[in-house]
Amino acid sequence: MAGDRARADHEANGPAGAPGVSPPNAGTERAARRQLFGTDGIRGIANVEPLTAEMAIKLGRAAAYTCLRRQGRHRIVIGKDTRLSGYMLENALVAGICSMGVDVLLVGPLPTPGIAFITASMRADAGVVISASHNPFQDNGIKFFSGDGLKLPDELEERIEALIFTDEIDAIRPTATRIGKAFRIDDAIGRYVVFLKNTFPRELTLEGIRIVADCATAPPTR
């Protein structure tokens, strides 16, 4: 049952697009080549392929490798929503990223735009969101951002997949002080709140306005 559900979810969120919509030929060819990434990262039932700890380690290693484009230390931001499976996937991603000699900045539960903001504002090389948005609680997902806080281009997602399903980076094993380190960013929420406040025009007010928020498993439920 779980395997069937996972396959159904992967097909539903796959790169072929919405049902009944025929993408251009280039998009169809790209979709046929993909095994993991859909239109919004990788999604499925947590702890069932492809959302397993083992796959998360491989994703972390592959994503970290694509960041090694300059000298010096590299950093990747990781944030998540409040799903229980987020702990499992977060730690697996950290292990994979650090094993490639890249440092990790952990921000904990934070909205997806907040993780994109932290990634760009802290000048990290990339960002990772562990969340399945509106999907059921047993689901989860992994989505990557570039250093400027934007979704990765299709070509880079394809490159990550290629690294996962080949042995190209298997022999890359930094040792001693070259192994990556993980740091907790305790003021990430505060940074994002200040940013949001600064986006609201001073001449406007919310006085008299009633707002309903359906947070579900989103970080604001904290």
Peptide bond into 50 cis (omega under 30): yes
Q: Is 133 a catalytic residue?
A: yes
CB 145 within 8 A of CB 152: yes
Tokens 């060819």 — which residue? 29
Q: What are the percentages of helix, strand and coil residues in the chain, rounded to 5?
A: 40, 15, 45
Q: How far is CA 162 from CA 58, 63, 66, 94, 169, in A?
A: 11, 11, 11, 20, 10
Helix axes 53-67, 85-98, angle to 10 degrees: 40
Which one of the listed residues 22, 121, 133, 146 is annotated catalytic? 133
Tell me which residue has tokens 């440092």. 103
CA distance 34 to 26: 13
Q: Active-site positions?
A: 133
